[in-house]
Amino acid sequence: MKKQKFTTELITGHGGVCAVIVPFDPAQVWGVTLTPMMTSHGKRLGTPVQGTVNGAPFEYWLGYRWGRFFIILEESLQRRAGISAGDLVQVVVEPQPGVARVKQKMAAKNKIKATSTMRRKTVAKRKVRARA
């Protein structure tokens, strides 16, 4: 999967959190599926990524909310990169090797597991109704 490079503004979002808007759809560019992830900001749709911001390395997640893709840049990363809200930043990002594939397999497995569970419950309900 190819690294994506772009320049964007570091914006301040909800609750004072800073983020960069990602100008591409990771599903189309990398073929990854966004899955529910527990983050420090609650449960969000996303995929694990790694890269650099103004040369400072990071590992985090690329999320989707309000019709946009984004990456939150925590304060420690902002300090390392020497950036603050309103600055233009150089971003290089790619999916974390292996992690995205594992998450996709887990999501597919959970979907199959959920479908099997629903089938068992449906069959059990039919048996209960048939007895009544």
Q: Read off the pLDDT of residues 94-123 as tens digits, 9 standing for 90 and up.
A: 999 876 455 555 565 555 544 444 445 555
Residues 119, 10: Cα–Cα separation, whole Å = 47
What is the pTM assigned to this prediction?
A: 0.71
- On average, the pLDDT of the chain sits at 82
pLDDT at 47 over 60: yes
- Section 44-50 average pLDDT: 90
More confident position, 3 or 118: 3
For every residue of 72-108, DSSP letters joined together read E--HHHHHHHT--TT-EEEEEEEEPTTHHHHHHHHHH
